[in-house]
Amino acid sequence: MIYRFRIVSDEVDDFKREIIIDSNATFLELHDAICDATGFDKAQMSSFFLCEDNWEKYQEITLEDMGQESDSSEDLYLMADSVIGDSLDDTDQKLLFTFDYLTDRSLFMKLIDITTGKNLPKPECVVSQGEAPSQNVDFDEFEASQIVSDTLTGHFDDDDEMYGSSEYNDDEVDFDNMSIDLPD
């Protein structure tokens, strides 16, 4: 089977990638395909998170073992050991690809198509629109943008979330009706 993933960003409006990959490939192969398609450094710590329909994370698949304690009740899933088809079997499955742990920045992914009866020897990026968000954030710039944001919104309470409301909003990421204006 061949899986087709659509990848978008909440930071860059015109960014979109679509990657096709064999269902027997590992999440590490998907990781590498995403890094190749975005120009991200493959050595930077990252994780996939399988998500519910409301983007609530329920399973992490990480690049490396981060020293999780052996008595932890949670299973450890490594990208190199995790086959995509073992975790995903329905279209519309949502994932997050967290590429910047320090500022909790992620790409939003959705499994948009499954083609049965075919195999793919290596992953391919079949749609590439817009520039990818920067993999690393300039912390001085990040801090300044937070101060400006807090000033404009009046949010100064330490209990407030840094990125706004944690409530899910269907309009925030619309994979099906995404319109991208490309320059002529």
pLDDT by residue, tens only, the chain of 184 residues: 999 999 999 999 999 999 999 999 999 999 999 999 999 999 999 999 999 999 999 999 999 887 655 445 668 999 999 999 999 989 999 999 999 988 889 999 999 999 999 999 999 999 999 999 999 876 565 555 555 555 555 555 554 444 455 555 555 666 665 555 545 4
What three-state secondary structure class fits 23? coil
87 in Cβ contact with 59 (< 8 Å): yes
Statement to judge: residues 99 and 18 lie in one domain: yes
Statement to judge: residues 103 and 156 lie in one domain: no
Statement to judge: residues 15 and 91 lie in one domain: yes
- Largest Cα separation within the chain, whole Å, is 57
List the domain range (segments joined by +) for residue 103: 2-136
pTM listed for this prediction: 0.75
Nearest to 79, CA basis, from 35, 28, 42: 28
**What is the CATH number for 103?**
3.10.290.30
